Chain A
Amino acid sequence: MKKKLILCAVAVVCLALALLFGVINFSADNLENRKNGYENAEISHPDGKVFVLDGKYLNNVKVNGKIESVCAFTAEGEPILPSSTTQKNDDLYYNFGVYADYVSFTGADDDTVVTVNPTSLNVNVMLTFFIFFLPLCLAWAILNAIEDKSAFKKDILAMKRYKYLLYDLVSRDIKTKYRRSVLGILWSVLNPLLMMLVLTAVFSQIIRVEVEGGFALFYLTGYIIFNFVSESSGFSLVSVINGGGLIKKVYLPKYVFPLEKTIFSLVNMLFSLTAFVIVFVIFLITGQVQLHATMLLFFVPMIYVFVFSLGLNLILSTLNVFFRDVGHLWGVFMTVWMYATPIIYPINIVPEWLQGIIRFNPLYHYVTYFRNVMIYGTLPSFTDNLICIGFALLFLAVGVTVFRKNQDKFVLHI
């Protein structure tokens, strides 16, 4: 009873905060400013040949007409390249991964029109959603954890005792995955490489998709992240059911099974990163790409997506114990999810309203984060990190709670 009261209180506070945030952000005044670019970007046209955009987070800059060159800079004065350019009708769209604060276009015609589209509005819709849901789910999870504190503590302590089991199960999975194949573990590298070759052929020759930095790396980065989520969720879905033999015979903390599968997929993802390195080195030698210092941050989006996946997998493995339909449906859902994530296309070729929806897809943020550090050499902003962490925490909190509430019933349903 007390729990429900607290939850209601949190919900009311969150709703109020979200509304407040929403009202400020979507007030007519603010919307008017956005039409001229995010956060009052000033578009000046000093000598008829040059367009200068000065503002914050300039992105999705639409150019109608002819221009010769583009220079963009971050607030610190670092020059950056556009992360992608897209042709739509007569307009050319420039994207800077939302980090450009100063852009100048030179060689403009008299009829050239430059506008900044208010895409950042979508980010704010996202944030509003977060302000409401995140604290609510966290509060729910924390209240549940407090309710059976001793059992929760026991589950955490069991982690230490069963770390060898985790290690053994992961190494067993790696050993058995490629058993009887000649190339063995090499497949973890070859698979993404071959997929990349096929899709690059299709999307750069047959269906032309223009992506800054080349389609190959663009696809590969998306594939690595997406494949991790898809693989780990597929394995985790049946992990508890397949672990039935053990669950029925010995006492084990049940979360070992989805956790193990997620770690196994993480190891696979690290292997497939080799594919990225190979292609990157080839492109580096041919001079198509540059090394970026931000590449050292490759592990950050991986940690985010790991936590997110773990939460998701806990939910899925729980559901599948009670309703086996989930397993069948999940295959279809993964296909939808793949197309809803900008893996084979850049986000700015889809209509704006759809972009707004895609922003609710957590994978879009992880993939974009990964691409920004790996290919475009841009440092993701504080807000980007916040969104990534937010999604990860949201799923982890819900996953852990759902799983723990049901784990005692597993043995009766396997």
Chain B
Amino acid sequence: MSNPMISVRGVTMNFNMPKEKVDSVKEYLIRKLKRRLSYDKFTALDNISIDIERGEVLGIIGLNGSGKSTLLKVISGILKPSDGEVITNGTISPLIELGAGFDPDLTTRENIFLNGSVLGFERSFIREKYDEILDFAELRDYENVAIKNFSSGMVARLGFSIATLVKPDILIVDEILAVGDFLFQQKCEARISEMMSGGTTVLIVSHSIEQIERLCSRILWLDHGKTRMIGDTATVCEQYKNM
């Protein structure tokens, strides 16, 4: 068996939530002296382990606050887990939220290059893909318009185009498909299917169970930070709907 694309090994993520917000030196020192810096420990992820293979599309489902987004953040390296480790083999293009790395004051053109470099791609590579990105996002007419004048759907389209057209090894999709209109959603799904056949590993978080059923090959069900179930789409979705 080949190396898994993403290997999550016993990841635990604890947050220390201070009971009161302390962000001034004076307050901090006073509390430290009085030994009153108390925290509520909150476990967002509790010992999660999963191996994700190349070309697999993993859906992550669960109720609000079950740790889906935290898991994505840990996998993409934004958060460092309190315990355990994540090993990834390949470039990750995260779409954690819409418009990550866009500057509202810059034009579409400038933002494409900025976003490309935020994701760590070579200048020449982005130049090569530039037209394709613009056409896929259907923003050819808005090439020199500042992003701040865009509707949220337009920003989402641009973000999705950049993240998918640079052909990352791992694509992370967090609720993003809910924003575009249905035509664009169809286009996105077609694009994801295309990438899957090309060997890209995709992680999808969505509350739309139909979408998950349509796209995913395997599903991880999180419940209060714990793995409730890992299995093929049909079984897990059945259980989830009858919860």
The interface of chain A, by Cβ under 8 A from chain B, is 161-162, 164-165, 167-169, 172, 175-176, 179, 245-252, 322-326, 408, 411-413
Contacts A164-B122, A250-B78; A172 near B96 (Cβ below 8 A): no
Interchain CB contact under 8 A, A165 and B117: yes
Contacts A162-B120, A165-B118; A250 near B25 (Cβ below 8 A): no
Q: Is B230 an interface residue (CB 8 A)?
A: no
Interchain CB contact under 8 A, A251 and B123: no
Q: Specify which of B78, B96, B122 lies most central, judged by the most chain A CB atoms within 10 Å of its CB.
A: B78
Interchain CB contact under 8 A, A251 and B78: yes
Interchain CB contact under 8 A, A250 and B96: yes
Interchain CB contact under 8 A, A164 and B123: yes
Q: Is B103 an interface residue (CB 8 A)?
A: yes
Give the residues in chain B near A162, CB-CB below 8 Å: 117, 120
Contact of A246 among B101, B113, B123 (CB under 8 A): B101
Interchain CB contact under 8 A, B117 and A164: yes
Contacts A164-B122, A252-B118; A412 near B15 (Cβ below 8 A): yes
Give the residues in chain A near B24, CB-CB below 8 Å: 323-325
Give the residues in chain B near A408, CB-CB below 8 Å: 80
B67 → A minimal CB distance (Å): 16
Classify the secondary structure of B's interface with A: loop
Closest residue of chain B to A252, judged by CB?
B118
Give the residues in chain A near B150, CB-CB below 8 Å: none
User: What is the number of residues of chain B that contact chain A, defined by CB distance less than 8 Å?
Assistant: 31
Q: Is B132 an interface residue (CB 8 A)?
A: no
Closest residue of chain B to A169, judged by CB?
B114
A177 → B minimal CB distance (Å): 11
Closest residue of chain A to B15, judged by CB?
A412
Give the residues in chain B near A165, CB-CB below 8 Å: 114, 117-118, 120
The interface of chain B, by Cβ under 8 A from chain A, is 15, 23-26, 28, 76-80, 92, 94, 96-97, 100-101, 103, 105-106, 110, 113-114, 116-123
B17 → A minimal CB distance (Å): 10
Interchain CB contact under 8 A, B23 and A172: no
Give the residues in chain B near A324, CB-CB below 8 Å: 23-24
Contact of B94 among A161, A168, A250, A326 (CB under 8 A): A250
Interchain CB contact under 8 A, A251 and B77: yes
Closest residue of chain A to B24, judged by CB?
A325
**Docked complex Cα distance between A325 and B26 (Å):** 9
Could you list some 30 contacts between A and B, CB below 8 A?
A: A161-B120, A162-B120, A172-B110, A172-B114, A175-B110, A176-B105, A176-B106, A179-B105, A245-B100, A246-B100, A246-B101, A246-B118, A248-B96, A249-B78, A249-B97, A249-B101, A250-B76, A250-B101, A250-B118, A250-B119, A251-B76, A251-B78, A251-B92, A252-B118, A323-B24, A324-B23, A324-B24, A325-B26, A411-B78, A411-B79
Interchain CB contact under 8 A, B78 and A247: yes
- The 3 A-B residue pairs with the shortest CB-CB distance, nearest first, are A249-B100, A251-B77, A164-B117
**Docked complex Cα distance between A323 and B80 (Å):** 21
**Docked complex Cα distance between A249 and B123 (Å):** 21
Give the residues in chain A near B118, CB-CB below 8 Å: 165, 246, 250, 252
**Docked complex Cα distance between A146 and B242 (Å):** 53
A242 → B minimal CB distance (Å): 11
Closest residue of chain A to B79, judged by CB?
A411
A263 → B minimal CB distance (Å): 14
B39 → A minimal CB distance (Å): 12
A46 → B minimal CB distance (Å): 64
Interchain CB contact under 8 A, A249 and B25: no
Give the residues in chain B near A411, CB-CB below 8 Å: 78-79
Closest residue of chain B to A408, judged by CB?
B80
Q: Specify which of B79, B94, B101, B118 lies most central, judged by the most chain A CB atoms within 10 Å of its CB.
A: B118
Closest residue of chain A to B98, judged by CB?
A249
**Docked complex Cα distance between A167 and B118 (Å):** 11
Contacts A164-B122, A168-B113; A175 near B96 (Cβ below 8 A): no
**Docked complex Cα distance between A143 and B28 (Å):** 29
Give the residues in chain A near B110, CB-CB below 8 Å: 172, 175
Closest residue of chain B to A176, judged by CB?
B105
A399 → B minimal CB distance (Å): 19
Closest residue of chain B to A173, judged by CB?
B103
Give the residues in chain A near B103, CB-CB below 8 Å: 172, 176
